[in-house]
A = this chain, B = another copy of it.
Amino acid sequence: MHITLEADYAVRIVQCLAQNGTRLDAKKISDDTGVTLRFSLKILRKLVSGGVIKSYKGTKGGYELAKEPGQITLADVIETVEGKYALARCVSEHDYQCNRNTDSCGICRFHKIYADISQLVQDKLNAVNFEELIK
């Protein structure tokens, strides 16, 4: 729903990779970001399966960005670890019975307000990429 600690860590990690520009192993990332090794690994896996970064096994293995820093936005990273942003239940949960006070279309007027705000937040997060962030 909102930006959890895990998502915050994920942003730090991607920023770390963007700033270094080379392949880094989990240990180095953990040291640089201050996120414990174990928890880093967990987040790194999510970022890999979300297509934000790429991983390499074995000696000399590690992690790299999957795209140019300029092609990765804050929204990409945050959504990867915690799903699409939604201000309120009725935005993300389609069948949530939010209120009896429905308009002529049977949709409560809060839906639109909350959905609009959620969209606004997503747009703002999408407008920031990691090329700007490492400058």
Chain A residues at the B interface, C-beta cutoff of 8 Å: 1-3, 5, 8, 11-12, 15, 19, 32-34, 74, 87-90, 97-101, 109-110, 113-114, 116-117, 120-121, 124-125, 128, 133
Q: Which residue of B8, B33, B88 is within 8 Å of A2 (Cβ)?
A: B88
- Copies of this chain, count: 2
Residues in chain B near residue A33, CB distance under 8 A: 100
Q: Is the interface of A mostly helix, strand, loop or mixed?
A: helix
Q: Which residue of B8, B19, B116, B120 is within 8 Å of A88 (Cβ)?
A: B8
Q: Which residue of B11, B15, B32, B120 is within 8 Å of A124 (Cβ)?
A: B120
Assess whether A113 is in contact with B34, with CB atoms less than 8 Å apart.
no
Assess whether A3 is in contact with B87, with CB atoms less than 8 Å apart.
yes
Assess whether B99 is in contact with A15, with CB atoms less than 8 Å apart.
yes
* Closest beta carbon of chain B to A34's beta carbon, Å: 7
Assess whether A15 is in contact with B88, with CB atoms less than 8 Å apart.
no
Residues in chain B near residue A110, CB distance under 8 A: 11
The 9 closest A-B pairs by CB, nearest first: A3-B88, A1-B2, A2-B2, A117-B124, A12-B99, A3-B87, A117-B121, A2-B87, A113-B128
